[in-house]
Amino acid sequence: MIRPNSWLGLLGGGQLGKMFAMKAQQMGYRVMIVDPSEHAPAKGVANLWLCAEYSDFSALEKMVERCDAVTTEFENVPAQSLGFLEKKLIVSPGKSAVEIIQDRILEKEFLRNNGFRTVPYTVLKNVQDLSRKEILEDFFPGFLKVSKFGYDGKGQVKVRDKLNLEASFKHLGQTPCVLEEALELHKEISVVIGRSADGQVVCYPVVENKHENGILDISVFPADISQKIKNQATEITIDLAEKLQYVGVLCVEFFLHRERGLFVNEVAPRPHNSGHYTMDAFVVCQFEQQVRALCRLPLGPVRPTSPSAVMVNILGDLWQSGDPDWSKLLNSPATHFHLYGKEHARPGRKMGHYTVVAETAIDAKKIAMEIKQTIISG
């Protein structure tokens, strides 16, 4: 057990890192953060900040000297950096799990080999692969997604036919990709869980997600789906975490097809945007679970403080015509407001979020959408 007043290391200083650091400090820990950006949101809350690349072994050595345990903010930290650290201190999630999840090809192979359903896909590693017969027959329309470093709709393109596929593969840099069948989705849902080093698991409720241009727009708790589907999604997430021997907070995103059921879409080895509602609607949020799992503390109870909640992302698009009008949001007694402190607002960039709590998901969504429309219209 790593006790309060100890130092925790964090690779990544974005908004997820900021939320982790603030929660860790609330629990009595000090946080050292490594991030290559001088303007990262977590810089202002770090007890110690190192502006360095994640592959900078001199910075990692300083982390080893200071910290008792290290975690990550996102999945694209180099696996070799995690391997270096976990030889000398506690690291969660560990190299073996992150190495699989950060590469879409390895992730798909892991899921398939362990019996988890994925959307039908094929791997394209080079231009020659584009001519394979089964691609012409089975995967249009589809989505072409880069194997590494894609997020929030970046690094993926919808493709209609072979000619479009060739242009898209070139546009994405002719790097290894996955081509997936484009399903007609009934819903998109996700499950966030925490798993401890001794195998204890806690599960947050299934949430329903809506995306715009590949970026999460809103998450609704509880999801409007059958209890059977909720149970299946939760069981799959637990099974997946166990097969990965995962320690920490993990999110699994699912596609739900009306006739064909559930498909695992993506795995995130960290707290997730769709879990932000837990900050305002649960006794123990996903970031506290991350601290608890890292420090080998008992995981916290998953107990809601509100029966329903809706989380809405705030994107940089809102700043294109000046500062947004937050008055409706700030005057809503049911609403919790979070801005991340990012220096520059860009279209599609996550600048913050707000969460509306209410007695029913219908009520929460109604208030959330009224606020969103007010912000957009000014």
pLDDT for 138 equals 76
pTM exceeding the 0.75 threshold for the entire prediction: yes
Report all structural domains of the chain as residue ranges with CATH numbers, in order of start.
7-91 (3.40.50.20), 120-181 (3.30.1490.20), 187-377 (3.30.470.20)
SS (H, E, C) the chain: CCCCCCEEEEECCCHHHHHHHHHHHHCCCEEEEEECCCCCHHHHHCCEEEECCCCCHHHHHHHHHHCCEEEECCCCCCHHHHHHHHCCCEECCCHHHHHHHCEHHHHHHHHHHCCCCECCEEEECCHHHHHCHHHHHHCCCEEEEECECCCCCCCEEEECCHHHHHHHHHHCCCCCEEEEECCCCCEEEEEEEEECCCCCEEECCCEEEEEECCEEEEEEECCCCCHHHHHHHHHHHHHHHHHHCCCEEEEEEEEEECCCEEEEEEEECCCCHHHCCHHHHECCCHHHHHHHHHCCCCCCCCCECCCEEEEEEEEHHHHCCCCCCCHHHHCCCCEEEEECCCCCCCCCCEEEEEEEEECCHHHHHHHHHHHHHHHHHC
pLDDT, mean of each 10-residue run, the chain (378 residues): 98 98 98 97 97 97 98 94 97 97 96 97 92 76 90 83 89 94 95 97 98 94 98 98 98 97 97 98 98 98 98 96 92 97 94 98 97 86
In this prediction, residue 370 carries a pLDDT of 96
